[in-house]
């Protein structure tokens, strides 16, 4: 029996990448939610953001501060939070990625409500390569469904 255990360095790199992905996922969730709130309510207030994200207001405020440092959002006192051009572009990419993951999961037989929930985790960790494979699968399936 061979030992296929990864080297300590390789294993540490994998965990470091996973932690970084989690950190980015949180930013992406906040950016996406700010965009959603603007579409639904015309504004994104900290209280609404905290409620939708299921966190306390100080936690949402801390996340917004990070978004501002990253150049993804701005805020004005008594006016709420706004996405920068970069933040809005990120929100669009995150939404598109989410829709692709949900559509793929549904296409392979996952119930839509479960697909929506699962996509929340998968969407942040899926590689560009895998996402492209999902998109190709969906395009091929659509083409096959429309063949005479």
Which domains does the chain show, CATH number per domain?
Answer: 8-87 (1.10.10.10), 88-145 (1.10.60.10)
- Judge whether 17 and 24 are in contact, CB under 8 Å: no
The answer to pTM > 0.85 is no
Q: What is the pLDDT of residue 46?
A: 93
- The per-residue pLDDT of the chain, averaged, comes to 88
pLDDT at 47 over 80: yes
What is the C-alpha to C-alpha distance for residues 68 and 83, in angstroms, rounded to an integer?
A: 9
> How many Cα neighbours within 13 Å face the side chain of 43?
10
Residues 64-93, mean pLDDT to the nearest whole number? 93
> How many Cα neighbours within 13 Å face the side chain of 106?
12
Residues 130-138, mean pLDDT to the nearest whole number? 95
């Amino acid at each position: 029996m061979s030992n296929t255990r990864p080297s300590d360095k390789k294993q540490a790199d994998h965990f470091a990448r996973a932690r970084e992905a989690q950190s980015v996922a949180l930013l992406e969730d906040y950016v996406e939610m700010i965009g959603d709130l603007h579409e639904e309510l015309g504004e994104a207030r900290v209280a609404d953001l905290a409620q939708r994200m299921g966190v306390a207001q100080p936690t949402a405020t801390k996340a917004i501060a990070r978004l501002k440092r990253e150049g993804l959002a701005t805020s004005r006192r008594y006016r709420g939070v706004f996405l920068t051009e970069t933040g809005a572009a990120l929100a669009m990419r995150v939404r598109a990625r989410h829709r692709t993951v949900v559509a793929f999961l549904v296409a392979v037989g996952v119930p839509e409500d479960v697909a929506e929930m699962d996509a929340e985790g998968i969407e942040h960790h899926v590689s560009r390569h895998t996402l492209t494979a999902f998109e190709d699968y969906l395009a091929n399936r659509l083409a096959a469904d429309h063949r005479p």
